[in-house]
Structure 1
Amino acid sequence: MQKKDLLLVEDDRALADLITYHFERAGYNVTRTGDGEEALILCEEINPDLIVLDWMIEGISGIEVCRRLRRKGPTANLPIIMLTARGEEDDRIRGLETGADDYITKPFSPKELVARASAVLRRVRPAIAAENIDYGGIEMDLAAHRVKRDGKSIQLGPTEYRLLRHFLENPGRVFSRQQLLEKVWPHSEDIELRTVDVHIRRLRMALNEHGGPDVIRTVRSAGYALDAETVS
């Protein structure tokens, strides 16, 4: 199963180590920072599936990080769990009203945090937790590793399959070539950007084999998106 990417924003190193350990055991790729400004930059660079965000961090506060992420289109629906030592009801309400999907007060059980993260992902981005993904007439059976479009089988190579899965889990979202390399290719540092174009072309050919409209949108100077909404 494809690993989920977690951005952990926590400036307590011991706590960050503990959280990282439990999330990595649960199958996540974890990127860490203790700085709010860097967290915003990392969100653009790695496009995490989930953010665990401490309220009190270096630089701008976690609550402000959450507010800024909710203002941007690409991160407006990004699942966010707030961590804080502030347990008062007004603080919890403020965190949730700012846009956090869940709120957990210190001290807490790391296992509970992982469970809460899984619950948020199932609720906010169900495709990540599902065994089957269906979008725009494209069906992917994750257990059987099979793909159909409008009921007809589609044959894909391993890379095209991973590429399609990433698009299906993020429909409508535009990804640059560099972002796709980092998400889809295991050793992206050894791959050239133009390789992405080659595999996008192969994926298009496979999906359109039976004459369906092209659902992969090319965004000039930006990248690619799976977007059935643009098909007339």
Structure 2
Amino acid sequence: METNGIINTEEKLADYQEINSSAKMGDLIYVDQNGDNTIDESDRVYGGSGTPEYEIGLNFNCDYKGFDFSMQWFGAFDQELINGSKMYAYTTGTHKDLLYQWQEDNPYGVIPANRGGDHDNYRAWSDIWVEDGSYVRLRNVMLGYTLPKRVISRVGVSKLRFYVAADNPLTLTKYSGYDPEVGNDGLATRGLDKGNYPISSQYRVGVQLDF
């Protein structure tokens, strides 16, 4: 359902009470799409797709005088995600954003008032949970150095290389959830962030020996 802010003036309250007589200050305003003064299934609108419009990837490798460097980037753009973790935290009253909810002593609050998880303010169908899930992620990066053969020939090895590497060290996104790469192949759950644990970052230091 499309929303249009919250009721924070007497004028907005009077207008919205023509649609919902039980509405109060601080409540979420749902858009009456068909103008029948009722909010129901007929007012639902398309809210976007969890499938990216396009994806890009970059693989880069180079070496110079014994040094080698490689990295892999991946990006997905213009997909919408439902932030299920945020929804759950709102309904249970544990999200930090609720510090900014509308209250009588905070009349300019931008978050709908918390009236419990079964209230229309925090319904799952609301577009307040929908966020842009675009992201760019550095999936892996590695820097190495191989000692010259003239140096290592005395110790009986054909190659001695030192390297540092990292997997998923950097993700660029405006998505406020744990991880924008929520995946999900099912049509009913595509683009739905259920609070899955985010992809972990790993850092390594190693030595490569060839005999």
TM-score range, shorter chain: under 0.3
Higher percent of residues as helix: 1
Higher percent of residues as strand: 2
Greater length-normalized contact order (CA 8 Å, ≥ 6 residues apart):
2
Q: TM-score, normalised by structure 2?
A: 0.22
